[in-house]
Chain A
């Protein structure tokens, strides 16, 4: 299973999670875990997702989520989990 980490960082507003989750549902992306907190005053959310059932490529998902983020006024990244595993786990 190809796990992808989606991060959302920005000012907290109504409906951030709803909009991101709607996009994920529409594209058949399963959410495995969600956590959120405030880091240095910013709303930060991390989702661990499984994108293997989605018809879209990683690049497409990443671009579309990026645009969605711009609409909401937050920054959304979509990255393969390995970059974090490699950096933080031996």
Chain B
């Protein structure tokens, strides 16, 4: 029998330490919607999404009520649209119309984001891939809930530098087209290396072609719970510290697994994976930065930060893996700047720089995430930042990503407000030396030697 203390511990995590299930994401394959007629394709897409996900939000709320655990987001990921729209779309505007359909479907079923306006171009771009990429600024400026991602590299294929160059320009253009909203469009656009097929977290979620027709993926969270648990390990050695993180991650993930199984059962959709991520929010106490500070650095960015993050990331996985039947997605600690009050404070205090964040991405689950940079940053420099992150991912066989927001009209020292879960961010300085010649070379960075495993 469960004891009153155990019940109290769980409820304290939920009420005081921001324990929640961050997202139930339904992955929907759109491959069977393909048609050469754009109108038919759009109709097929709308009907499939609204059919499959009709009860997603309702079931999510039902589970949240029954178990008393908040389920913050209900979302949808779809097959990368570059694959779906290839035969129907003649120009980038045609693709943008598909984005509009996705947005309408998202509104109809009540999800707050739909991901998969994506292209996978780690080795090269098909004409459809390139058209989709070129349509991203238009698509993101005329939709509210659509998220876009482009995978430009992988350990197996190397890095498509033509796509990297193009993405620098596209991010800049997206920023321009959404400048009235502090370049918000860029907050919904991620550039990946080694993108996972089953990531439930936005903005990078898409439903990979290796997946089944429909699947339920769940992203758990709980930085506040880990932080609170670590307060009991102050001054203790690393073994105690690691054990505390593992225990906490296990508990948090068990809740995610329960929610995933229930959602899968009630929606009659197979369960895919649980993504074991520590995803912060701007809420006080829901911060990954505060965990790192609890581990022992005065402020994130101080020497020791990368070691602390590496340890945290690894222990979260070790604790979580045993708690779930299938783990996937990004699984690790997220270090977005705008969505984490501790990160924002560190930037404002001068402790955290773009270069230190880059180092941190070598050992955590994602990359340079939700970072506002000056609007005057050149497309080539943005491409350089993407290339660096992609190289880290490629060489270290891990997912890396770039979600930077060149805020048009703003410069270092100013603040940009995105609202809601996206938070706010100080504009960070970018190295002022250029990389035009590197970006202009064109072609591909070949796959690293350790990709030849056969």
A residues bordering B, Cβ < 8 Å? 5, 7, 9, 33, 35-37, 39, 44-46, 48, 58-59, 62, 77-89
**B2 and A36 contact, CB distance less than 8 A:** no
Tally B residues with Cβ within 8 Å of A.
22
Q: B65 and A59: CB pair below 8 A?
A: yes
Inter-chain CA distance A77–B68, complex, in Å, is 7
Cβ contact within 8 Å between B2 and A82: no
Please name 5 further chain A to chain B contacts, defined as beta carbons within 8 Å, in addition to the given A33-B1, A84-B7, sorted by A numbering. A39-B4, A48-B2, A83-B258, A86-B258, A88-B9
- Which of B143-151, B249-257, B357-365, B441-449 lies on the face that meets chain A? B249-257
**Cα distance A15–B421 when bound, in Å?**
41
Using CB atoms and an 8 Å cutoff, list the residues of chain B in contact with chain A.
1-11, 62, 65-69, 251, 254-255, 257-258
Contacts A/B (CB < 8 Å), 24 sampled? A7-B8, A7-B11, A9-B8, A9-B11, A35-B4, A39-B4, A44-B8, A46-B7, A48-B1, A58-B66, A59-B62, A59-B66, A79-B68, A81-B2, A82-B67, A83-B10, A83-B67, A83-B69, A83-B258, A84-B7, A84-B10, A87-B6, A87-B251, A88-B251
Let me know if A82 and B258 touch, CB within 8 A. yes
Using CB atoms, name the residue of chain B closest to A2: B66
Q: In the complex, what residues of B have CB within 8 A of residue A82's CB?
A: 67, 258
Asked whether B65 lies within 8 Å of A62 as measured between CB atoms, the reply is yes
Taking CB atoms, residues of chain A closer than 8 Å to B65 are 58-59, 62
Residue in B1, B5, B8, B68 whose beta carbon sits within 8 Å of that of A83 in the complex: B68
Cβ A86 vs Cβ B257 within 8 A: yes
> In the complex, are the beta carbons of B257 and A84 less than 8 A apart?
no
- Of B5, B10, B62, B66, the residue contacting A39 (CB under 8 A) is B5
Q: Is the CB of B4 within 8 A of A87?
A: no
Chain B residues within 8 Å of A77, by CB: 11, 68
Given A77-B11, A79-B68, the answer on whether A86 and B254 have CB atoms closer than 8 Å is yes
Separation in Å of the B276 CB from the closest CB of chain A? 15
Residues of A near B6 (CB, < 8 A) are 84, 87-88
Decide: A80 near B10, CB < 8 A? Known: A35-B4, A37-B4: no
Contacting residue for B2 out of A39, A44, A59, A84, CB 8 A: A84
CA A44 – CA B3 in complex, angstroms?
A: 12
CA of A39 to CA of B7 in the docked complex: distance in angstroms? Answer: 11
Known: A5-B7, A7-B8, A44-B8. A85 touches B2 (CB 8 A): yes
Q: Report B-chain residues with C-beta under 8 Å of the C-beta of A44.
A: 4, 8
B1 and A86 contact, CB distance less than 8 A: no
CA distance A86 to B11 in the complex (A): 14
Using Cβ atoms and an 8 Å threshold, which residues of chain B touch A48? 1-2
The answer on a CB contact under 8 Å between A83 and B4 is no
Taken together as a complex, chains A and B put the C-alpha atoms of A81 and B4 apart, in Å, by: 12
Bound state CA distance, A30 and B449, in angstroms? Answer: 66
Chain B residues with Cβ below 8 Å from A83 are 10, 67-69, 255, 258
Q: Which chain A residue has the least Cβ–Cβ distance from B257?
A: A86
CB-nearest residue of chain A to B258: A86
Report the bound CA distance from A29 to B255 in whole Å: 26
Query: Across the interface, which residues of A come within 8 angstroms of B7, CB to CB?
Result: 5, 7, 46, 84
